[in-house]
A and B are shown apart, each in its own frame.
Chain A
Amino acid sequence: MPNLSRETYLNIFISLGLLVFPFIATAMDEPFYITLATRVAILSLAAVGLNLALGTGGLVSFGHAAFFGIGGYAMGILASHAQTYTPIFTWPFVIEGTNQMLIIWLVAIVMSGIAALFIGLLSLRTSGVYFIMITLAFAQMIYYFMISWPTYGGEDGLSIYVRNQFPGVNTLDPSSFFYICLVLMFAGLGLSAMIKNSRFGAALQAARQNEERLAATGIRPFNIKLTAFVISGMITGLAGALMADLNRFISPSMLSWHMSGEIMVLVILGGVGRLYGPVVGALIYIIFEFIFGGLTDYWQFYLGLILLGVVLFARGGAIGLLAGKARHD
């Protein structure tokens, strides 16, 4: 029997719980719960992206809604053209819309990666409060751009009537779509664990803790942080495409600073820099919203109180509370 930490047991328990959840929901005759669980998986993935930048790299990005929204609009733009059979543009070559998830995901990842590269190039020259403000400013720029761009619905957003397709899967079945999202969430978690333990991850953690030392060791911190920021943006962008597909609706609110804050709250609630922190954060958030959202319109006030408690008294987030301090080596 390998000597696994409490955190590992907790992670396995959460993973198994999510894997069997559709059966439980079906048994309870509450298919709506599957949609809630799908939101957990998608928000987790978005927060896994941010956690790589924020937790491992110490990059407090307050603009990850930009990538979430770009992923969402990548889906919206491609799918809206597919449903009206119009090309996206015809010059210099013709690009058609598509309702194939695999292509949409790829476009979402590439577009949010390009955006992260551009935003990172400019914002990573700063640090601390300035970095937070610049990432926020970029996200807000994209937000206002989408509001004022009428082609894709402007402020009203954009509806997609049928969920996009995945080869061999009926994506309209809630459980099937849930499992697609869950697999991607696990893939994101696996990738982020692998990166953290790799040579790149070692350099990234060193960049968070002591940039001067990293540079004196011959590794340029800027390049390491920029690479991490791009990977982080790509993961969050993929989550945005999934969220758009779940709701079959995209609006600029996906790009607003509320969304950036929400993703950051998930990471902090669950535990900054902890592998399953984003998942635990998303679980708490969705459960809280479901239970207290029905009782009061002001449920976020109470979530705020919990967040305050976590920040003040449980610095490792909920995972820190349940599984103890992070192990270092």
Chain B
Amino acid sequence: MTDQPILQIQNLNKSFGALTATDDVTLDLKKGEIHALIGPNGAGKSTLIKQICGQLSSDSGKVIFNGRDLAGMDMAERAKAGLGRTFQVSSLVMEFSALRNVMLAVQSKLGTSYRFFKNVRGDKSLTEPAMAALKRVNLEERADVMTAELSHGERRQLEIAMALALDPKAFLLDEPMAGMGPEGSKKLIGFLDDLRHEAPILLIEHDMDAVFSLADRISVLVYGRVIATGSVDDIRNNPAVREAYLGSAA
């Protein structure tokens, strides 16, 4: 096994008119790690995630995933290639139950979305893996509840279950703890701690306790630029980071 990073972002740029949202960003994600991306609001974290996933096109620069340049691939292809993503604001199929949302991910993983006849209800090749994914995020008791009726925190869990069901090679989690209670956050931290050994995680998170307890490495994004990358201690003690981001809190 080589130490080749699974995800490499090289000199990525994106501007909206005069506003530079992503400014020459270079970072990578190695096997088995959690790489946290932090930065004040409007630093361009979500824009960067969208560029990696193919939801936004990049002005220049490269995203190399699993040894492959993702240029020209759309969101669906990148997801199929193994980028498991969760959204900052939950994005789910609201008129489906939690289980059927995850079943959608399972059928995508199996590559069987062009089957027209067999009823999906009670189709064990879909329901069993979907149920297993729900179990991992402790949502199995809510499997048959309509997504529109799930609480905010449960929807966050469901997003993660869908990403799990895709069995991705890397996770891109955009503020997975946002809106979760302290109990839920604590459980999720424990879960992500183990998850990194299945597939590395690029984690955007505002909850600093979570970031400091989970991250192997942290990159700090300010006005679209990475101003520092390093271990938890490096970042804590970096004067530029304290100045720009942590401010008086640290």
Q: Within 8 Å CB of B234, what residues of A? A: none
B91 touches which of A199, A205, A210, A220 (Cβ 8 Å): A210
Q: Check if B108 sits within 8 Å of A218, measured CB to CB.
A: yes
- Do A198 and B119 form a contact, CB below 8 Å, given A205-B95, A213-B93, A219-B108? yes
- Do A199 and B162 form a contact, CB below 8 Å, given A206-B93, A328-B95? no
Q: Check if B94 sits within 8 Å of A210, measured CB to CB.
A: yes
CA distance A329 to B115 in the complex (A): 19
Q: Check if A200 sits within 8 Å of B114, measured CB to CB.
A: yes
Q: Within 8 Å CB of A300, what residues of B? A: none
| Per-residue B-contact encoding for A188-216, CB less than 8 Å = 1, 0 else | 00000011011111110110011011111
Flag whether A140 is at the interface (Cβ < 8 A): no
Q: Within 8 Å CB of B116, what residues of A? A: 194-195, 198, 200-201
Question: B148: nearest residue on chain A (CB-CB)?
Answer: A328
Of the candidate stretches B71-79, B180-188, B212-220, the one touching chain A is: B71-79
Q: Check if B107 sits within 8 Å of A202, measured CB to CB.
A: yes
Q: Within 8 Å CB of A201, what residues of B? A: 116, 120
Number of interface residues of B (CB under 8 A): 39
CA distance A210 to B100 in the complex (A): 14
Q: Within 8 Å CB of B119, what residues of A? A: 194, 197-198
A151 CB to nearest chain B CB (Å): 37
Q: Check if A216 sits within 8 Å of B87, measured CB to CB.
A: yes
Q: Check if B114 sits within 8 Å of A217, measured CB to CB.
A: no
Question: B102: nearest residue on chain A (CB-CB)?
Answer: A217
Most chain A Cβ neighbours within 10 Å, of B87, B96, B112, B166:
B96
Q: Within 8 Å CB of B55, what residues of A? A: 212, 215-216
From 115 to 149 in chain B, residues with beta carbon under 8 angstroms from any chain A beta carbon are 115-121, 126, 144, 146
- Do A202 and B95 form a contact, CB below 8 Å, given A217-B79, A220-B74? no
Q: Check if B144 sits within 8 Å of A329, measured CB to CB.
A: yes
Q: Within 8 Å CB of A205, what residues of B? A: 93, 95-96
Q: Check if B95 sits within 8 Å of A212, measured CB to CB.
A: no
* 10 more A-B residue pairs beyond the given contacts A198-B120, A328-B95, with a C-beta to C-beta distance below 8 A: A203-B104, A205-B93, A214-B76, A215-B75, A216-B75, A217-B162, A218-B109, A220-B76, A220-B77, A329-B100
Listed from nearest, the 3 A-B pairs whose CB atoms lie closest are A218-B79, A215-B75, A220-B76
